[in-house]
Amino acid sequence: MPLKNKAPLTVLATASDRGKRVDLFLVEQLPHYSRSKIQNLIKEEHVTLAGKPLRAKDEVQPGDVFEIQEPAPKPLAKAFPEDIPLDILFEDEDLLVINKPAGMVVHAGADHEEGTLVNALLHHSATLAAKDSFRPGLVHRLDKETSGCLLVAKNDDIHATLSQLFSERKINKTYLAITTGIPRQKKGTIALPIGRHPVQRLKMTVRRPPSGRDATTDYEVLATTSTHALIACSPHTGRMHQIRVHLQQLGHPIVGDPLYGKRDQWQRHLLHAWKLEFTHPRTGKKMKIEAPVPKDFKARLETGGWRFEEF
């Protein structure tokens, strides 16, 4: 069945609204919409006055009746098998640990239907947990530009157990990050709640509850130059962009991060999911898996005079 548009909203301006910017007026009247959402609707001509599109900076006049027609939501992209090589760090009948390369999207989305890790997994394995779902096999995710260890369940029982271990914080993850600037303390814990940015919807930020959810990250400085630090980070929670936000709040954003710092010649944020430690749900074996540090990461280390083998 095709997706349908929602019924249009209408908003009436009164005398007290005279001279206000259209976008700010609509945010006042529709507080469940962010300003960026309203501006995008205006830009895409989904907000009209007397049937005509507007600009965000246009001025409101008393008696104006604005009509807001949200577009129909895009259908979820469906994953399909693709013959894409995988760097497999561990595999048995129950689970896999993949060394995800930087630049690979984990699962299909509106802008990414090809070349995803899930597509590669569907080709590789005849059995994946919840194979008919949107994200088969996945029990956690990594950002597109983050490289390193990613745990995948090959059946539903193991998926349920691994998900429970994540929720109970019994799966330990260690990341490597190269930051701009050097933290004052060599070791520390960052405990700041994280939620979605109220205006810039692609970003997360520190927010008070209930908008922000608890988030805790331990960190340790492994090495420094005059301008940068190599830091090991161990998140105790799994909030979106957690390490990136916490290091920014520490005053030392990750090198190459355009959302929380700035893009530079490294072309991606230098964050690597380095180590993964957990108890195998079926065998009870203590698993310790390490993803080799990628070439671009090592190149940045070498420019600082470091050799990764030292750590």
Residues marked active site are found at 143
Handedness of CA 15, 16, 20, 22 (dihedral sign): negative
Helix (H) or strand (E) holding 39: helix 35-43
Please tell me the distance from the alpha carbon of residue 203 to that of residue 186, in angstroms, as a whole number. 27
In which region does residue 94 sit, left (phi positive, over 0), alpha (psi from -120 to 50) or beta (all else)?
alpha
Helix (H) or strand (E) holding 117: helix 117-124
CA 253 to chain centre: 16
Q: Whose CA is closest to 268, among 112, 100, 141?
A: 100
Alpha-carbon separation of residue 142 from 66, 100, 126 (angstroms): 41, 8, 23
What six digits make up the tokens of 39? 């501006």
How do strand 172-180 and strand 271-279 relate by DSSP bridges?
antiparallel
Q: Return the CA Rg of the chain.
A: 23
Burial of 283 (0-12, 13-18, 19+ CB in 10 A): exposed
Judged by DSSP in three states, 309 sits in helix
* Three-point CA angle 249, 190, 293, nearest 5°: 85
